[in-house]
Amino acid sequence: MTDGVVDQLARAGRFSVRYGEETIAYALRLQPQRRPSRVAIHVEASGRVLVDAPVGATHASVAQAVKKRAAWIAQHVAKAKARLEHVRHRDYTSGETVHYLGRRYRLRVTVDPAAAASCRLRGGFLEVTVQRRAAQDVQAVMSVWLRHRASEVLRERLDTIAAGLRWVKTPPPMRLQWMRVQWGSCSPRGLITLHPALVQAPRDCIDYVVLHELCHLSSHDHSARFYRLLDRHMPGWRSVKARLDGMAEDLLRQ
């Protein structure tokens, strides 16, 4: 298989290897700044397997690296699937638990055909007013509120953290986007994309994700240099990441 085919398939994310009776599917990212022969493998909280490889890597070399760590990958994928089995979809009814900045609130839904739709925090409750008793209406109102809060909170954290990083000369542009398997990303042009649901997480978890993406402005891959930057500016980031991974399914459930 030629490198050109690897490039094409990598964009489509269609790779897999056999491991015993199982098939390990993985997405491949080819990174220009990654050192030759260095392949990094990640299993995300959703169970998705992500492989970072240097540009020029052959399909055979990447597949060999995945097979070499197949037992580790299968174990972590199984753990992620087990967590997902226990996550229920929201009913969007009064009494459900919702999160904001790491704190738990109770959802209180009021149906009033004459009132304007609204959402606000009051005491230990997230109060939502809708005109009809429909889960999709409650969800829509909550989503608008969550996105508004995220635009303010995440922008403030991005600007504050960026100000303390010597390689960031001006605060980078930010956008919010609902993503299925990740909290954030950094484009080659320096656009930071963050998941609106991140505003539900504790502040240190928010800061970890923001710092992670800002470090990509200096090191675009997950190289040793990238992790040195993380270690320098948030020495305890691994435990923070583990805590965020552990609550991801609950924060992202719809």
Q: Does residue 166 sit in the same domain as residue 56?
A: no
Q: Does residue 172 sit in the same domain as residue 106?
A: yes
Q: What is the pLDDT of residue 43?
A: 84
244: CATH: 3.30.2010.10
pLDDT tens sequence across 139-167: 999 999 999 999 999 999 999 999 999 99
Q: Does residue 134 sit in the same domain as residue 216?
A: yes
pLDDT tens sequence across 12-37: 356 888 888 788 888 888 777 677 76
pLDDT tens sequence across 81-108: 776 665 557 889 999 999 999 999 999 9
Q: Does residue 108 sit in the same domain as residue 216?
A: yes
Residue whose entry in the numeric block shows the structure tokens 């923001």 = 210
pTM confidence score? 0.71
Residue whose entry in the numeric block shows the structure tokens 């009913």 = 91
Residue 92 resides in a domain: no
Q: Does residue 80 sit in the same domain as residue 101?
A: no
Q: Does residue 148 sit in the same domain as residue 217?
A: yes
Q: Does residue 8 sit in the same domain as residue 66?
A: yes
Residue 91 resides in a domain: no
Dist CA 219 CA 35 (whole Å):
12
Q: Does residue 205 sit in the same domain as residue 121?
A: yes
Which of 58, 85, 112 is the endpoint of a domain?
Answer: 85
Dist CA 248 CA 51 (whole Å):
20
Instruction: Give the domain extent around 110.
Output: 97-252
Please tell me which residue, 134 or 4, carries the higher pLDDT value.
134
Which of 31, 58, 85 is the endpoint of a domain?
Answer: 85
Q: Does residue 146 sit in the same domain as residue 206?
A: yes
The answer for 62, left when phi > 0, alpha when psi is -120 to 50, beta otherwise, is alpha
What SS3 string covers 95-157?
A: CCEEEECCEEEEEEEEECCCCCCEEEEECCEEEEEECCCCHHHHHHHHHHHHHHHHHHHHHHH
